C-alpha cells in the first residue's frame, strides 16, 4: 500500500491531466501506479473520484474538491524540504493554465511570456483568450486576468492597473454627426455596441456618478472589443472603448474623445489565482511575471 502523501501526489497529477497515461508521463511512473493510487484513495475516502468509460475519464465533483485541498497539502509538505530561494528544473516544469480577456491575452500576455518560456522550457502554457467568465475550478485554471470586480472572494487577487473608458469617434464622423452634449444625445447618432457573451445582452455605457445608458441606434453589435474598436476607426459610429485599445489612436488623432466630463471611474484590472496557501513554483513564477507585465504602464498602454 502507498503512503498517504504519495497517494495524494499521484492523485493530484491525475486530476490535472486528461488521462492516467499523461499523469504517469509527467511523474515518470507507470499508468498502473496512477490507477492503483486512485483506487486506494477511493477506498480510503469512500467516494468515487473519477468516472471512467471507453472514451476516457472525468473527475467527479467530490474528486475536484478533494484535489483542491490535496494540492495545498502536497505543496506545503514539499516546501518544507525545499530552500525558499531556489527551484529545481522539476519544480519549474508542467502545465500552467491561464485565462484572460481576448485583447489582453493577444496583445500583452502572449508576446511578453515568450522569454519566460525560453528560459524555462519545462513550462507549458495553456492560454485561453476569452471574454466569457471562466469557471476556474471546472476548467482547472491556474491564473486568471479580468477587468471589473472579482467574482469569488476565495481568489488570491492582485490589482495591477486601472482601465479607463472613452467615448470616441473619428474626426470625420464627428464633423458629420456633431458632438453630443450629454449621454442622452447618443440616442440620435449611430453607435457601435458590445455584447456580454455571458448573458447575450448589450453592455450599457457607463458614465460618471453611476449613470448608465444604452444607445438606441447601433449600426454594429459585436462580442469582440477589437472589432468594436475597428468599426469606430472605420467611421461607422461612436463607441465606448477601453484605454488599452483607444489611447494610441487618440494620441495619433485618429480618434477624438467626447463627453469627457461624463467619463466614468476607471475599472480595476486584476490578476488572480483560485487557491490560497502554497502554490507550485511554476505557477508562482508565471503569476508574478503577468503581474509585472500588466503593472508596467509603458508595456500595458503601449500602442500596438
Q: What is the domain-level CATH number for residue 211?
A: 3.40.190.10
Please tell me whether residues 177 and 202 are part of one structural domain.
yes
Assess if residue 208 is contained within a domain. Answer: yes
The sign of the dihedral angle between the CA atoms of 226, 232, 238, 241 is positive
Assess if residue 87 is contained within a domain. Answer: no
Please tell me whether residues 10 and 76 are part of one structural domain.
yes
Task: Identify the domain boundary among 37, 55, 80.
Answer: 80
- Separation between Cα atoms, residue 14 and residue 39, nearest integer Å: 12
Please tell me whether residues 184 and 246 are part of one structural domain.
yes
DSSP 8-state assignment for residue 108: I
Please tell me whether residues 179 and 236 are part of one structural domain.
yes
Q: What contacts 98, CB < 8 A, 6 or more positions away?
A: 105, 109, 125, 126, 127, 128, 141, 142, 143, 144, 145, 286, 290
Please tell me whether residues 157 and 173 are part of one structural domain.
no
Q: Which domain holds residue 53?
A: 4-80
- Separation between Cα atoms, residue 24 and residue 124, nearest integer Å: 17
CA-based nearest residue to 169, from 222, 109, 97, 219: 219
Assess if residue 85 is contained within a domain. Answer: no
Task: Identify the domain boundary among 80, 113, 132.
Answer: 80
Burial class of residue 168 (count of CB atoms within 10 Å of its CB; 0-12, 13-18, 19+)? buried
* 3-state SS, residue 115: helix
Please tell me whether residues 54 and 124 are part of one structural domain.
no
Q: And the C-alpha cell for 202?
A: 448589450
Please tell me whether residues 206 and 70 are part of one structural domain.
no
Q: How high is the pLDDT of residue 299?
A: 63
Q: How high is the pLDDT of residue 71?
A: 82
Q: How high is the pLDDT of residue 23?
A: 82
Question: What domain count does the chain have?
Answer: 3
Residue by residue, pLDDT tens for the chain (304 residues) are 457 888 898 898 888 888 888 888 777 778 888 999 999 999 999 999 998 776 678 899 999 989 888 887 877 776 666 554 445 555 688 889 999 988 888 888 888 888 888 888 889 999 888 876 655 555 678 898 988 866 656 678 888 889 999 999 999 999 999 999 999 999 999 999 999 877 778 899 999 988 998 888 899 999 999 999 999 999 999 999 999 899 999 999 999 999 999 999 999 999 988 765 567 888 889 999 999 888 887 666 544 4
Amino acid at each position: 500500500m502507498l503512503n498517504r502523501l504519495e497517494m495524494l501526489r499521484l492523485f493530484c497529477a491525475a486530476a490535472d491531466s486528461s488521462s492516467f497515461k499523461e499523469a504517469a508521463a509527467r511523474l515518470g511512473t507507470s499508468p498502473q501506479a496512477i490507477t492503483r493510487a486512485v483506487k486506494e484513495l477511493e477506498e480510503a475516502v469512500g467516494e468515487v473520484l473519477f468516472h471512467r468509460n471507453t472514451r476516457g475519464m472525468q473527475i467527479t465533483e467530490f474528486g475536484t474538491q478533494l484535489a483542491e485541498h490535496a494540492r495545498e497539502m502536497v505543496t506545503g509538505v514539499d516546501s518544507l524540504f525545499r530552500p525558499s530561494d531556489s527551484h529545481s528544473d522539476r519544480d519549474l516544469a508542467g502545465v500552467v493554465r491561464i485565462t484572460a480577456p481576448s485583447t489582453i491575452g493577444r496583445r500583452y500576455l502572449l508576446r511578453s511570456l515568450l522569454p519566460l518560456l525560453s528560459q524555462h522550457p519545462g513550462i507549458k502554457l495553456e492560454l485561453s483568450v476569452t471574454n466569457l467568465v471562466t469557471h476556474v475550478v471546472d476548467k482547472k485554471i491556474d491564473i486568471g486576468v479580468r477587468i471589473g470586480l472579482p467574482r469569488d472572494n476565495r481568489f488570491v487577487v492582485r490589482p495591477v492597473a486601472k482601465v479607463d473608458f472613452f467615448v470616441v469617434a473619428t474626426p470625420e464622423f464627428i464633423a458629420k454627426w456633431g458632438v453630443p452634449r450629454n449621454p442622452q444625445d447618443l440616442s440620435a447618432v449611430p453607435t457601435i455596441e458590445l455584447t456580454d457573451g455571458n448573458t447575450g445582452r448589450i453592455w450599457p455605457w457607463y458614465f460618471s456618478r453611476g449613470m448608465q445608458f444604452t444607445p438606441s441606434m447601433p449600426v454594429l453589435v459585436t462580442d469582440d472589443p477589437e472589432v468594436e474598436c475597428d468599426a469606430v476607426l472605420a467611421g461607422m459610429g461612436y463607441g465606448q472603448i477601453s484605454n488599452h485599445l483607444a489611447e494610441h489612436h487618440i494620441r495619433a488623432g485618429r480618434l477624438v474623445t467626447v463627453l469627457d466630463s461624463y467619463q466614468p471611474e476607471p475599472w480595476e484590472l486584476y490578476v488572480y489565482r483560485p487557491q490560497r496557501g502554497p502554490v507550485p513554483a511554476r505557477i508562482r513564477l508565471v503569476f508574478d511575471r503577468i503581474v509585472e507585465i500588466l503593472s508596467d504602464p509603458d508595456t500595458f498602454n503601449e500602442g500596438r
